[in-house]
Structure 1
Amino acid sequence: MAKKYKTALVTGGAGFIGSHIVDALIRRRIKVYVIDDMSSGQKKNINPNAHFTKMSILNPAFPKFLRRIKPDVVFHLAAQINLRQSVIDPPADARVNIMGTLTLAHLAGEIGVKKIIFSSSGGAMYPDGAKIPYSEKTPPGPISPYGISKRSGEMYLNFAYQVHGVPYVALRYSNVYGPRQNSKGEAGVVSIFAEGMLRGDDLAISGTGKQTRDFVFVGDVVRANMLAMRKNVVGEFNIGTGKETNINNLFKKIKKITGYKIKVEKSPAPSGEVMRSVLNSSKAKKVLGWEPKVGLEKGLEKTVRWFEKRK
C-alpha cells in the first residue's frame, strides 16, 4: 500500500501532469521532492508544500541530488515532449528522453528506489495502420524520434528491473488534457483551441482534421499513477478512454463551450503524426482497477472554465 512510500521524487513536477501528481501525493501525506528545469514547467504549478529544486535530469549534479534525497518512489515525467521538435533535432530529444531516463534507471538500484512510475506515450508508441484500438499486445512501432525515445525509456527501465530489481510501471497515456496544460508552442490541442478561442485568435487545424485521438482527462491520469504506485505490479499499461474523437469534432465541441465565431483555417500536418490513435485500456482496468471517470464533454467544460479564470 501507499503507506510504505514516505518520500517521492517527481521529475518534471512543475509541468502539466507532474504538478497534478505532486498535489495528489501531498494529499496522501507523502514527502515530495520536485525537480524541473522549467523549460516548459511553470512556477505557479508547484505545490508550496513540495521541496522544489530547479534542475535538469541531465545536470551532472543530478546523481548526487538523487543519492542525497533517496526517494522511495520516483514519478518520472521530465522529458522533451515536442513531437515536431523531436523530428527536427532527434539527438536533443534522445539526450533528455533516453539518457535522462537511463541515468535514473541506472542509479535507482544503487540508492534503493522501491518503484519507478514512468510517463510514456500510447499516442506515439504504436504504428500507424495497426489494429485499432491499440493494446499492450500491439507490437510497438513508433514513427517519430519522440516515440522511439519513450520506447527506449521503457526498455531501460525493464533492464533496471531485470538486473537491479527495481520495479517499474510505464503508463502509456493517450492524449492527456485538462487544467494547467500549456498552450504555448506545440502543446495539447485542447489547450491550444481553448485558450485561443477565449482570446479570439485565428486558429488552424493541422491536416484534414479527420485524424483521431483518444482524449483522457488529467485527473484520470493522476488516478492511474496513484494506483500504479499502490499496486504490486510491473510493466506497461495503456491509459486512455478507448473512444476516438477526430480533431474537427473536438474543435466543434470546444467552439460550442466558448462561443467562438471565427472561421477555422487548415495548416499542413506535421511529419511523424499518426492518423488514428485510440487505446484499449482493459489491462489497466483488470490489473490496476483503473478506468476513466471524466467524459470528454465534462472534461472540456472543466478545462475551458479553468482557462477562463486565468484570463
Structure 2
Amino acid sequence: MLVLGGSGFIGSHLVQVLKEHNAVSVFERRRIGAKEQAGVQYIYGDFEQEDLLRKSLVGIDTVIHLISTTVPKTADADPVFDLNSNLMNTIRLLKILPETRVRKLIYFSSGGTVYGEPKTALVKEDHSREPIGSYGIVKCAIEDYIRFYASKNYFEYLIIRPSNPYGPGQISYGLQGVIPIIFDAIINDKVFQLWGGGSQVRDYIYIADLIEAVQKLIDAACTGAYNVGSGQGHDVNQLVKAVEQQMGKALQTKVVETDHNAIERFVLSIDKIGKDTGWSPQTALEDGLRKYHQWLMQRLEESES
C-alpha cells in the first residue's frame, strides 16, 4: 500500500493500523516534527513531482490518497492554488495509475463540504452535491475524475467522506478543527470566537473510530462512496461546555457574526457503512474529548521537560 499524505493527522493513525498486516509506504512532503513509524518506507517529495510519484507506485496494488494542500478557508482565499495543487495533481496521479499495478484507489474526500446545504436531517451518500465553497467544489471534481478513470476499468475506487475527525495528534493552527481550537484557547487563556453565538451543529468523530471504519471498508472490499461520522450532531456551545468540564476552567468567548453562507446544521447519515460492514462508532463525544485532553496534557508536559 502507498499512503499519500501518510504523516498527517489522519494519515499517521491510518498507517499505524495498516502496517500491522500490510507492507506500507508513505509519500509525503517533509513535515517539521513529524516522526517516521518503524517498518514503514518513507518517500519525501511534492505531489507535483510526477517522476518521483511514478517511482513510488512501483509494486503497489492499493493507493490511499489523503493529500490536501488547503482547508475550506484557504481554498476560498485562493481557488487557483486549490485547483492546481489538489485537482490538477490528482489528475496527474490518475493518468499514471493505468501504467502501474494499482488495482484500488481510496480517496479521502469531505463529508462536510461536498453536499452543500442539507435537504434532510441526516445526509446520505445519494444526497445532491451542491458545494458552496472552493474546497468542496474541488473535492467533488476529484471524486468525479476518479469515477471517470475507474469507468475505464483501470482500477476500483473507494471514496471516504468523513465528518469532523478529532483526537490525539490533531494540533490547532487556527484554521480548521474547532475542538483543538477550543482546547488551545482555554489552555492558553485566549479568547475563543463564537461564530453566530455557537449554535452551528456538526458531526464529530473520534479518530480511532474513523480509522476502524476505514479498515472495515477495506476488509469488506467496499467500493463507491461512504460517509463516516458519528451520526449525531452537537453545537459549538455543547463543545465549549464539555471542554470546560474536562478542563475545570471557563473559556473566554466573544460572539461574532457568522458568515452568511455558513450552514447551520450538518450531520451525516452512517446507515450505508453500518449495513455494508457492520461498523458503528464506539466513542462518545465526552470520552473522545477526555482522551484528547489527556494526550494534550502529556504533550505539554513532554515539551516542558
The TM-score normalised by the length of structure 2 is 0.92
Are residue 110 (structure 1) and residue 103 (structure 2) matched?
A: no
Report the AA paired with residue 275 of structure 1: E
Q: Out of 135, 148, 155, which is 1:159 matched to?
A: 148
Report the AA paired with residue 28 of structure 2: D
Are residue 53 (structure 1) and residue 37 (structure 2) matched?
A: no
Report the AA paired with residue 160 of structure 1: Y
Q: Contact (CA 8 Å) 1:87, 1:272: kept in 2 or not?
A: no
Are residue 263 (structure 1) and residue 252 (structure 2) matched?
A: yes
CA shift, 1:98, in A, is: 1.0
Structure 1, residues 56-86: CA drift from partner, whole Å, max 9, x if none? 211233333234x331111110012411111
Report the AA paired with residue 54 of structure 1: Y
Q: Contact (CA 8 Å) 2:158, 2:224: kept in 1 or not?
A: yes
- Per the alignment, in what secondary structure is the counterpart of residue 252 of structure 2? coil
Report the counterpart of residue 18 of structure 2 in structure 1: 25
Q: Contact (CA 8 Å) 1:144, 1:272: kept in 2 or not?
A: no
- Per the alignment, in what secondary structure is the counterpart of residue 92 of structure 1? helix
Report the counterpart of residue 263 of structure 2 in structure 1: 274
Rounded Cα–Cα distance in structure 1 between residues aligned with 2:47 and 2:261: 26
Report the counterpart of residue 229 of structure 1 in structure 2: 218
Report the counterpart of residue 35 of structure 1 in structure 2: 27
Report the counterpart of residue 62 of structure 1 in structure 2: 52
Q: Contact (CA 8 Å) 2:227, 2:269: kept in 1 or not?
A: yes
- Per the alignment, in what secondary structure is the counterpart of residue 158 of structure 2? strand
Q: Contact (CA 8 Å) 2:4, 2:67: kept in 1 or not?
A: yes
Report the AA paired with residue 13 of structure 1: G
The TM-score normalised by the length of structure 1 is 0.91
CA shift, 1:51, in A, is: 1.2
Report the AA paired with residue 12 of structure 2: S
Structure 1: gaps of 5 or more residues: 1-7
The 1:131/1:93 distance shift into structure 2, 3 A limit, reads same
Structure 1, residues 232-283: CA drift from partner, whole Å, max 9, x if none? 2210001011111001111111111012224311234357532211000100
Percent identical residues? 29
Report the AA paired with residue 36 of structure 1: E
The 1:129/1:279 distance shift into structure 2, 3 A limit, reads closer
Rounded Cα–Cα distance in structure 1 between residues aligned with 2:89 and 2:277: 27
The 1:60/1:72 distance shift into structure 2, 3 A limit, reads closer
The 1:183/1:163 distance shift into structure 2, 3 A limit, reads same
Report the counterpart of residue 193 of structure 2 in structure 1: 204
- Per the alignment, in what secondary structure is the counterpart of residue 205 of structure 2? strand
Rounded Cα–Cα distance in structure 1 between residues aligned with 2:238 and 2:66: 29
CA shift, 1:140, in A, is: 0.8
Structure 2: gaps of 5 or more residues: 301-305
Are residue 85 (structure 1) and residue 77 (structure 2) matched?
A: no
CA shift, 1:293, in A, is: 1.0
Moved over 6 A (4+): none
Are residue 139 (structure 1) and residue 139 (structure 2) matched?
A: no
The 1:149/1:159 distance shift into structure 2, 3 A limit, reads same
- Per the alignment, in what secondary structure is the counterpart of residue 214 of structure 2? helix
Aligned residue pairs, count: 300
Q: Contact (CA 8 Å) 1:210, 1:247: kept in 2 or not?
A: yes
Rounded Cα–Cα distance in structure 2 between residues aligned with 1:197 and 1:280: 32
Rounded Cα–Cα distance in structure 1 between residues aligned with 2:29 and 2:257: 31
Report the AA paired with residue 20 of structure 1: H
- After superposition, residues 183-222 of structure 1 pair within 5 angstroms as 183-222=172-211
Q: Out of 4, 10, 15, which is 1:11 matched to?
A: 4
Q: Contact (CA 8 Å) 1:102, 1:156: kept in 2 or not?
A: yes
Comparing 176-185 and 55-64, the one that deviates more: 55-64
The 1:147/1:109 distance shift into structure 2, 3 A limit, reads same
Report the AA paired with residue 71 of structure 2: N
CA shift, 1:91, in A, is: 1.1
The 1:260/1:59 distance shift into structure 2, 3 A limit, reads farther
Report the counterpart of residue 281 of structure 2 in structure 1: 292
- Per the alignment, in what secondary structure is the counterpart of residue 264 of structure 1? strand
